[in-house]
C-alpha cells in the first residue's frame, strides 16, 4: 500500500501524457502509485503509458472505455485506491517536484480537511507563464465562496481516502448530513469536481495550500475552453443546489445565488435589471449563519456586495472600496473588468421572482 494513489484519467492524451508522467516520477516523495485510467483512447496514449510502466512498476494502467462520463471514470479509479491519500492529476499538466511533500505537510496542518488543493501556475503551449490568480486558503473562506464559483483547482487536489469513504462522497453524488449517497446525473459531467468539493466545503472539510503544486497547461483542446458556456450553465445549477442545501441546514429563507455567481470570471446575463440589493440581504443572512470564521465570511460578503448592483458606476465605486480593504483573489478582478467591458456569460434561467424587473 502506497501513501499516495494518483488518479490520472486520460482519453487521447498522447500529446502531453509523457511529460505529465515524468513529473510524477520526479517527485521528491517516492511512496506513490500512479493509476492511469484510460477512457478508450485511439491515439498513442496506451503505448506511452505502457512504455513508462515497463520502467517504473509504480505505474499501473487500467482500461475503462465503458465508464460513463468523467465522474464514472474517476469513481472507478477511487474503487481501485487503497492509499492514505488520493491525488488527482491531469494528462496535460506538470506536477512540481515538491507537490506530494507539500500535500503531506498540508494535511498535517489541516487535520479536519478531507480535500486539500493548492495554487497553480498557468502556462501556454509555447511554455510562456500566464497571469496567476491566487486561490483562498482557509476552509471558512472557501465554504463561503463555493456558493458562487469554485475556489479549488481540481488538478491540484488530494483527498483523505478513509474520510471520503466514511462520508459516501463520490463524483456526481449528493451526500452529507446523514443523507444516503445519491447519484445526481445532472452533475456527473463538466462540473463533477465543483459538486464534490462544494459539498465537502459546506462541511468545512476543504482547504488550499499556499504553494504552487502544478503547472497548468492552457490549450485549445482543454474541456474548459471547448465547453465553456455549457460549464457555466452547469455550474449555475450546482451553485443553486449548494445554496439550497445551506439554507436548509441553517434554517434560512431560500435565495438564488445567480446574480452573485462569477463562474469562469463571467457574470450571468440578467437582462435590464441592475439592482439585487434585496437578494444580497437574503444571501448575507444565510452566510452569517454558517459554521465558519466570521472574518472569512465577511470578506466574501464584501465582494458579493460589489456584484449586487450591475450599474457600472456603482460597481466600480464599490470595487474600489473593496480593493482598499481586501486583496482580490481568484477571478474577482477579471469579473468586474469583463462586466464593465460589457462581456457577460449566457442568459441565466432565473426563478420568476428574480426575472421580474
pLDDT (0 to 100) of residue 225: 63
> Which neighbouring-strand residues pair with 216?
122
Q: Are residues 251 and 267 in the same domain?
A: yes
For residue 164, give its domain range.
Answer: 4-225
How many separate domains does the chain show? 2
Q: What is the CATH number of the domain that holds 187?
A: 3.90.550.10
Element (H, E) at 173: strand 173-176
The C-alpha cell at 340 is 464593465
Do 172 and 238 have their domain in common?
no
Provide, rounded to the nearest whole percent, the portion of the chain with pLDDT above 70: 95
pTM of the predicted model, to two decimals? 0.93
- No. of helices (H) and no. of strands (E), the chain: 14, 10
Residue 317 lies in a domain: yes
Same domain, 186 and 262: no
Residue 260 near residue 300, CB atoms below 8 Å: no
Count of CB atoms within 10 A of residue 232's CB?
20
In a domain, 355, yes or no: no
| Pairing of the two strands 85-88 and 179-183 | unpaired
Q: Looking at the structure, do residues 167 and 107 belong to the same domain, yes or no?
A: yes
Answer whether residue 294 is part of any domain.
yes
Grid cell digits, residue 269: 446575463
C-alpha–C-alpha distance, residues 247 and 112, integer Å: 23
In a domain, 41, yes or no: yes
pLDDT digits 0-9 by tens, 71-120: 999 999 999 999 999 999 999 999 999 999 999 999 999 999 999 999 99
In the structure grid, which three cell numbers stand for residue 142, read together? 472557501
- Please compute the mean of the pLDDT values over residues 18-41 and round it to a whole number: 98
Do 254 and 135 fall within a single domain?
no
Joined together, the cell numbers standing for residue 110 give 489541516
Torsion of CA 206, 212, 215, 220, to 10 degrees: 50
- Bridging pattern class, strands 59-63 and 32-38: parallel
If asked whether residues 154 and 296 sit together in one domain, one would say: no
Q: Which of residues 171, 200, 225 is at a domain's end?
A: 225
Asked whether residue 240 falls in the same domain as residue 164, the answer is no
In a shared domain, residues 267 and 341: yes
Residues 212 and 239 grouped into a single domain: no
The answer to whether position 356 is within a domain reads no
- Mean pLDDT over each residue of the chain, to the nearest integer: 93
Cα separation of 54 and 61, whole Å? Answer: 11
Let me know: does 138 contact 152? Beta carbons within 8 Å.
no
Please give the backbone phi and psi of residue 280, each rounded to the nearest 5 degrees, phi first. -65, -40
Alpha-carbon 49 to chain mean position: 27
268-323 pLDDT, tens digit each: 999 999 999 999 999 999 999 999 999 999 999 999 999 999 999 999 999 999 99
80, 264, 348 from 269: Cα distances, Å: 43, 14, 6
Q: What is the mean pLDDT of residues 173-185?
A: 88
Domain boundary among 171, 194, 225: 225
Q: Final residue of a domain: which of 225, 258, 286?
A: 225
Q: Confidence band (pLDDT; 50, 70, 90) for 357?
A: very low
- Are residues 194 and 271 located together in one domain of the fold? no
C-alpha to C-alpha distances, 20 to 9, 92, 129, 139, 344, nearest whole angstrom: 12, 6, 17, 29, 34
Asked if residue 240 and residue 206 are part of one domain, the reply reads no
Per cent of the chain over pLDDT 90 is: 85
Amino acid at each position: 500500500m502506497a501513501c499516495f494513489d494518483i488518479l490520472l484519467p486520460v482519453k487521447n492524451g498522447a500529446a502531453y501524457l509523457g511529460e505529465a508522467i515524468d513529473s510524477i516520477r520526479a517527485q521528491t516523495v517516492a511512496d506513490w502509485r500512479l493509476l492511469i485510467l484510460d477512457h478508450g483512447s485511439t491515439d498513442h496514449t496506451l503505448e506511452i503509458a505502457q512504455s513508462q510502466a515497463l520502467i517504473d512498476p509504480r505505474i499501473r494502467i487500467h482500461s475503462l472505455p465503458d465508464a460513463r462520463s468523467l465522474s464514472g471514470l474517476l469513481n472507478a479509479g477511487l474503487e481501485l485506491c487503497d492509499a492514505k491519500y488520493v491525488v488527482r492529476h491531469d494528462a496535460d499538466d506538470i506536477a512540481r517536484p515538491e507537490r506530494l511533500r507539500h500535500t503531506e505537510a498540508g494535511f498535517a496542518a489541516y487535520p479536519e480537511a478531507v480535500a486539500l488543493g493548492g495554487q497553480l501556475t498557468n502556462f501556454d503551449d509555447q511554455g510562456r507563464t500566464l497571469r496567476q490568480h491566487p486561490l483562498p486558503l482557509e476552509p471558512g473562506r472557501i465554504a463561503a465562496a463555493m456558493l458562487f464559483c469554485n475556489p479549488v483547482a481540481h488538478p491540484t487536489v488530494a483527498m483523505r481516502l478513509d474520510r471520503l469513504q466514511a462520508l459516501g462522497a463520490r463524483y456526481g453524488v449528493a451526500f452529507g448530513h446523514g443523507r444516503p449517497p445519491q447519484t445526481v446525473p445532472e452533475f456527473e459531467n463538466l462540473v463533477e469536481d465543483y459538486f464534490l468539493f462544494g459539498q465537502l466545503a459546506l462541511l468545512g472539510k476543504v482547504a488550499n495550500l499556499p504553494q504552487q503544486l502544478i503547472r497548468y497547461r492552457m490549450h485549445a483542446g482543454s474541456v474548459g475552453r471547448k465547453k465553456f458556456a455549457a460549464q457555466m450553465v452547469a455550474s449555475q445549477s450546482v451553485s443553486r443546489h449548494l445554496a439550497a442545501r445551506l439554507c436548509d441546514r441553517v434554517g434560512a429563507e431560500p435565495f438564488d445565488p445567480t446574480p452573485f455567481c462569477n463562474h469562469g470570471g463571467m457574470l450571468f446575463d440578467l437582462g435590464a435589471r441592475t439592482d439585487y440589493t434585496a437578494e444580497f440581504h437574503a444571501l448575507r443572512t444565510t452566510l452569517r449563519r454558517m459554521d465558519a470564521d466570521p472574518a472569512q465570511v465577511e470578506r466574501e460578503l464584501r465582494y458579493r456586495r460589489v456584484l449586487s448592483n450591475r450599474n457600472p458606476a456603482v460597481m466600480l465605486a464599490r470595487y474600489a472600496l473593496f480593493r482598499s480593504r481586501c486583496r482580490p483573489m481568484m477571478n474577482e478582478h477579471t469579473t468586474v473588468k469583463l462586466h464593465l467591458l460589457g462581456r457577460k456569460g449566457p442568459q441565466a434561467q432565473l426563478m420568476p421572482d428574480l426575472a421580474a424587473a
